[in-house]
Amino acid sequence: MLEVNAVTKSFGGLAAVAAASLRVAEGGIVALIGPNGAGKTTLFAAISGFVAPDNGQILFNGAAITGLAPHLICRRGIVRTFQIVQPFGGLTVRENIVVGAHLRHAGRRKALMRAEEVARRVGLGELLDRPASALTVAGRKRLELARALATAPRLLLLDEVMAGLNPAEIDEIVRIIRDIRASGVTVFLIEHVMQAVVSLADYVYVLNQGEIIAQGSVSEIAAMPNVIEAYLGHGAAARMTTGAAGAVQ
Amino acid sequence: MTMRQGLAGGLVLVLALMAPLAIQSDFWLGFLITILLFAAMGMAWNILGGYAGQFSFGHAAFFGTGAYATSVLHIALGLNPWLGLLVAAAAGGTMGLLIGYLSFRYGLRGSYFALITLAFAEVLRILANTAGFTGGGVGLYLPLNIGVANMQFAGKAGYYYVALGLALASILIAWRLERSRLGAWLAAIRENEDAARALGVDTFACKLAAIGISGAMTGVGGWFYAHYYLYIDPEIAYGPGVSVEILLVAIVGGLGTVLGPLLGSVALHAAGELAQRLMGDTPGLNLIFYGVLLVVMVRLMPDGLAGLVRRWMRPAGGTQRA
Ligand SMILES: Nc1ncnc2c1ncn2[C@@H]1O[C@H](COP(=O)(O)OP(=O)(O)OP(=O)(O)O)[C@@H](O)[C@H]1O
Ligand SMILES: [Mg+2]
């Protein structure tokens, strides 16, 4: 469904993403992990049209979308959330979600119905008339998710929607993401919360200093020495024994 | 809309329709006409500044273009003033699209956008001063020819009803906009442009639509002005005075609200009239007055008068807009 071919993006001299290639198959949940500053968000920004890659190609359902404007990419069915949440602070939860719903529904009534339906799905049904600025961190993350879902995407890019949440809230989001996948939406997520990656992802890519250094299933990744090194520094893998999976994060 | 709001609105409308029967004084009818005209134009500004969050300091560019378009064509080709309304709307709207295209294409926002609109209005003022067909600095006199078909009325009542129509139409447009997709998208752009783009909003197209609508409505304001006073010159049409007055009406009234500009226009002109009576007609006094008022409003009442009314109507503190 999504194909990223040797995409490079530099800021000044620094290559935030360096010839990264990956694939996301339809219907799955794929995770992108890697240490801070690895270039994960930049890669999402390239896929969603917020930054134009210096090099490389991005295909969605076989068609090139490299360098298209964000709103056109969204119309084709890829929507992103922001790591640093970007609510429409002066609007209510309902009005926030309606903005997304209007992408597929020109009429007000249909869009409002759609927004309410999405809000219930992510557990915001009771907070529809709250100002978005009054939400807790967990509420804002859900709102970010709800607005994106309201655009009726084929592929959902989630950038650390669990950061800053407590374990109960994480369990709830994990359940919601499963439910989203079950409804036929493909999910590609960046996550530092390994417990969530382990329970959700069918396939994992590891990005380090802009490069994809490993890929595979969760259990395959957990056993790779270069992944552990990327997270814990040079030589760490050698010092570690078999229980590596638990040590990540 | 609640029952109470509907009743209040209906009552105000009936009073407004009967006002010319009760008010015989030309002075006070003229005062109401000014209020209604600026309510309509404040609403035009509000669509761009209040709903879409793009502050313009140069709405005179649209006002003047509407005024000159209808006047020049009326004088030169005998264009009927009622048709002139459409011409002025088209001219103001086109000017809006032009300025919008040039500024939004290059991503101008905030104070840069405000300054560029001001610059456009100033350039137009200078052009109107030098061009031949605008009558230059002398201005244009529209021929006197009383008759409803010619949109010239013997008394002020006729003009009053036209101005009332403009104000009501502008309120209706804003009310429709608030409940439309474009309205939702403009609010999103005002709140967070990147988030809007991520959700599929074509921010450039939406901002163009907003400035086009705003320009057309303000052009109609210029149309009314020209046929009401039967005279325009570059200073009146394109000077900063009208730009400031329009934006003050919207800001005093309350940004992004349906009734704000009407309240703002009433308050601004009532206060202006009072100030003039108290302090006489000193040149420049009104500008000082506007400046002070703007600072006070922004500091003490950022929600404007509509915000006050909303709190008063709904003490429980709902979030719906007035
Ligand atoms: N707009 C920008 N201008 C300059 N440098 C940038 C910009 N965006 C990102 N970078 C740099 O690119 C690198 C990758 O950043 P990015 O945000 O993609 O990392 P990340 O993997 O998402 O990290 P984190 O886990 O902390 O979110 C960092 O060194 C960052 O400082
Ligand atoms: Mg990031």
DSSP for B251-271, please give it: HHH-TT-SSHHHHHHHHHHHH
CA A184/CA B183 separation, integer angstroms:
31
How far off is chain A from B55, nearest CA to CA, in Å?
17
Q: Is A39 in the pocket of ligand 1 (CB under 6 A)?
A: yes
Q: Is B195 on the interface with A (CB under 8 A)?
A: yes
B218-256: per-residue pLDDT in tens? 999 999 999 999 999 999 999 998 999 999 999 888 888
Ligand located closest to A32 CA: 1
Q: Which residues of B touch A98 (CB under 8 A)?
A: 184
Rounded (5°) CA angle A203-A86-A22? 25
**Order of strands across the sheet with A55-60?**
A14-24, A2-11, A55-60, A63-64
Residue B286 has pLDDT above 60, yes or no: yes
What is the pairing mode between strands A2-11 and A55-60? Answer: antiparallel
Q: How deeply is B277 buried, as exposed, middle or buried, from its count of CB atoms within 10 A (0-12, 13-18, 19+)?
A: exposed
Report how far ligand 2's centroid is from the alpha carbon of A121 (Å): 26
Mind listing the pLDDT tens digit of every residue in chain A (249 residues)?
A: 999 999 999 998 889 999 999 999 999 999 999 999 999 999 999 999 999 999 999 999 999 999 999 999 999 999 999 999 999 999 999 999 999 999 999 999 999 999 999 999 999 999 999 999 999 999 999 999 999 999 999 999 999 999 989 999 999 999 999 999 999 999 999 998 888 999 999 999 999 999 999 999 988 888 887 777 777 666 655 555 444 444 444
- Pick A3 or B149 by higher pLDDT: A3
- Which pLDDT score is estimated for B219? 98
What is the C-alpha separation between B190 and B296, in angstroms, rounded? 23
Q: Which CATH superfamily is domain A1-77+154-215 in?
A: P-loop containing nucleotide triphosphate hydrolases (3.40.50.300)
Q: Do B179 and A108 touch (CB under 8 A)?
A: yes
Q: Is A210 in the pocket of ligand 1 (CB under 6 A)?
A: no
Q: Which residues of A touch B319 (CB under 8 A)?
A: 92, 129-131
Banded model confidence at residue B193, pLDDT cuts 50, 70, 90: very high
What percent of chain B has a predicted confidence (pLDDT) above 70? 97
What's the whole-number mean pLDDT along residues B158-181? Answer: 95
Averaged over B154-161, what is the pLDDT?
92
- Long-range contacts of residues A6-12, Cβ cutoff 8 Å, at least 24 apart: A6/A55, A6/A56, A6/A57, A7/A43, A7/A46, A7/A53, A7/A55, A7/A56, A7/A57, A7/A58, A8/A53, A8/A54, A8/A55, A8/A56, A8/A210, A9/A39, A9/A42, A9/A43, A9/A46, A9/A51, A9/A53, A9/A54, A10/A54
Give nearest CA residue, ligand 1 atom 24: A36
The shortest CB-CB distance from A74 to any of B180, B190, B199 is to: B199
B226 neighbors B142 (Cβ within 8 angstroms): yes
Q: Flag whether the ipTM exceeds 0.85.
A: yes
Residues in B touching A129 (Cβ below 8 Å): 318-319
Q: Whose CA is nearest to atom 28 of ligand 1?
A: A37
Q: How far is the CA of A209 from the centre of ligand 1 (A)?
A: 10
| pLDDT score of B319 | 45
Contact (CB<8Å) B197/A108: no
| Domain parsing of chain B, residue ranges | 26-237
Give the helix/strand (H/E) hosting A30: strand A29-33
Report pLDDT for A234. 62
Q: What pLDDT score was predicted for residue B53? A: 93
Q: How confident is the model at residue B304 (pLDDT cuts 50, 70, 90)?
A: confident
